[in-house]
Amino acid sequence: MSDTLQVRRTPVLYLSHGAPPLADDRQWTAELAAVSAGITKPKAILIVSAHWEAAPLTLAATDTVPLLYDFWGFPERYYQVQYAAPGAPELADQVRKLLNSPAAPVYDDPTRGLDHGAYVPLKEMYPEADIPVLQVSMPTLDPKQLFDIGRKLAPLRDQGVLIVGSGFTTHNLSAVNLGGSPGGAAPSWSIEFDDWARRALAAQDVDSLIDFLHKGPGASIAHPRTEHFAPLFVSLGAAEDSLGSADTVVDGFWYGLSKRSWQLG
């Protein structure tokens, strides 16, 4: 029997990050804090947010630059939030090696700060902002291509990198009552799609998830545009060998939208 200790791979997350006011939801913030408390502190974080689509695939600033407050019409206090996480130039070099090719070059945007899909959940998970963070764009919304990107990024897990896809399990702002109560009843399309996604991932039915627009009930209502579900596929690809241990770490609804989030591995 070998005395060599098995080093557990860093898990992968898919988080429903919400708009900035979701940080006022004490249950949600406590759940995110519990997620980070249950994970060995990562050496770096790679995050893919629903709020950054750029092709070719692009890496955000590898030095600390101001946050990107990519939302409008909120009270001033949401624009005063700070999260000065260190840049991650070494992680950026590793990502280039894993993803860069003549057919799919990797670009850099040295001035782009973390958007709210990145910093809102990370501030609740790692409030000290002492872990290097690299945000990576989605060069496409095609689930298969995003899954393949995640698969190529998977080796980073062996180096203590936490890979996070940040979106929302259902996302149709025009079909919910944002003037009502955050804890109000969710519409049937949101409940049904959330339950289908939960069951599909529990069954490790990646093919159905990839084909969610055809397989998921009410998918075109739950996601009239698919950018908020798309980060899930990067997470699924990166956690391909860990889907059997997928756990829901956040559930419930916020203004009728599913907050369901998973830890994979």
Q: Coil, strand or helix: which one is 11?
A: coil
Helix (H) or strand (E) holding 144: helix 143-153
How far is Cα 82 from Cα 143, in angstroms, rounded to an integer? 32
Q: Is residue 159 packed enough to be buried (19+ CB in 10 Å), middle (13-18) or exposed (0-12)?
A: middle
C-alpha 90/C-alpha 254 separation (Å) is 37
Give the pLDDT score at 1: 36
Fill in the DSSP letter of residue 5. P
* pLDDT tens by residue, 17-34: 978 999 999 999 999 999
Give per-residue pLDDT as tens, 114-146.
Answer: 999 999 999 999 999 999 999 999 999 999 999
Domains and CATH numbers, the chain: 12-264 (3.40.830.10)
Contact 218, 193 (CB under 8 A): yes
Answer whether 0.75 is exceeded by the pTM.
yes
DSSP labels, 152-166: HHGGGGGGTEEEEEE
Reading the block at residue 27, the tokens are: 């249950």
Widest Cα–Cα separation across the chain: 62
